[in-house]
Amino acid sequence: MHDAFGRRINYVRLSVTDRCNLRCTYCMAEDMQFMPRRDLLTFDEIERLALHLVGRGVKRIRLTGGEPLVRKGIVDLVSRLTNLREHGLDEVTLTTNGTLLPELADNLAAAGIRRINVSLDTLDPARFAELTRRDEFDKVMRGIDAARSAGLAVRINTVAMRGVNDGELPALLAWCGERGFDLAMIEAMPLGDVSVDRKSTHLDLTEVRKLLQERFTLSPSIHRTGGPARYFDVAETGTRIGFITPLSDNFCSGCNRIRIAATGTVYGCLGHDQKVELREILRAEGPGTLDDALDRLLAGKPLRHDFDIDRAEPALTRHMSATGG
Ligand code: SAM
Ligand code: SF4
């Protein structure tokens, strides 16, 4: 699949639920209205859609949400998707808040997951409780240990925020290094109405890189994961740090992805409302129409997001958890 700008699309982020057991302040409001469960694609529908996409050249699928591990039967879905490797899929990965890994890590590994991203913005339990509005820090720590024991490669994702966790970013990099984890830092994006003031907490990652360079030796890495992170090798730890800079350094020219919400709405870009609806097509008709809808999506896929931290309103009312972060 190619879009109108000649970008090859071979990566799908697939949200399996918009629900979550945490309420990170930059991601959700406390009282979120979630989608009715009957509107979600069933596992059969997801599997059929994924097979179709693999037939059109998709190589990697990342499961996300909301919190993907709160969807009942998630391990079964993972097995069904990893089986698509017979049809040309390279990899199924997962982004999770880690809280359910203590019980699920082994089963996920057995179902064919090899790499996961775990989101962790702080190593301070009290700050974690404040940031996520839930007291689940210990579970995340146990979850990360369980993932390591299950043999999963872990990358930690950290949203860097001024006045919130900027003081502990070097410690986080050291902590990841001790465990052999890569770390990716992310600039918070203005998506959905939330209680935090994103402007005052906005932190340009160029600043963070300079801060880290006071303590670590960073050199540009050739490592690529097919995502927007730009990586540096960390000499002291033998691990890598990636920077995801939607606001300070646009990376849209290399975009390779589309995003499927749990209801079967497919978005061409995280920062726009351009979309097609696939659920009714999957429920009613044949693959011809699926192709038509995907072609329409590709033809209209925006060139770039236009996030602007200085705008008072969020770029979109849609929350990150609805599209699949
Ligand atoms: N619940 C899972 C988790 O937290 O990893 C998966 C979904 S979550 C939406 C995916 C990633 O998006 C997390 O790393 C989270 O920190 C990040 N995220 C959420 N809202 C964001 C925002 N407004 N800007 C930037 N990153 C955000
Ligand atoms: Fe849940 Fe992930 Fe959003 Fe946090 S970032 S509220 S864990 S979906």
Residue nearest to atom 4 of ligand 2 (CA): 24
- Ligand 2 atom nearest to 132, measured from its CA: 4
pLDDT tops 70 at residue 222: yes
- Ligand 1 atom nearest to 187, measured from its CA: 25
Helix (H, G, I), strand (E, B) or coil at 58: coil
pLDDT tops 90 at residue 219: yes
275-277/265-267 β-pairing: antiparallel
Q: How far is CA 206 from the centre of its chain?
A: 21
Pocket residue to mutate for ligand 1, from 14, 15, 24, 245, most atoms within 8 A of Cβ: 24
User: How confident is the model over 147-167, as pLDDT tens digits?
Assistant: 999 999 999 999 999 999 999
Residue that wins the pLDDT comparison between 114 and 322: 114
pLDDT tops 60 at residue 286: no
Least confident of 16-20, 209-213, 288-292, 318-322: 318-322
User: How confident is the model over 168-194, as pLDDT tens digits?
Assistant: 999 999 999 999 999 999 988 877 666
Q: Report, as an integer, the average pLDDT of 38-42.
A: 95
Q: What is the pLDDT of residue 128?
A: 98
φ, ψ at 243 (rounded to 5°) = -120, 125
Q: Report, as an integer, the average pLDDT of 126-135.
A: 97
Residue that wins the pLDDT comparison between 306 and 271: 271
Q: What is the pLDDT of residue 311?
A: 63
Least confident of 98-112, 194-208, 269-283: 194-208
**Cβ(186)–Cβ(213) under 8 Å?**
no
Q: Report, as an integer, the average pLDDT of 278-283.
A: 92
Q: What is the Cα–Cα distance from 268 to 22, expressed in whole angstroms?
A: 27
Looking at the chain, the whole-number percentage of residues with pLDDT higher than 70 is 91
Q: Domain 11-323 sits in which CATH superfamily?
A: Aldolase class I (3.20.20.70)
Under the banding of pLDDT at 50, 70 and 90, the label for residue 200 is confident
**Cβ(156)–Cβ(182) under 8 Å?**
yes
Domain ranges of the chain: 11-323
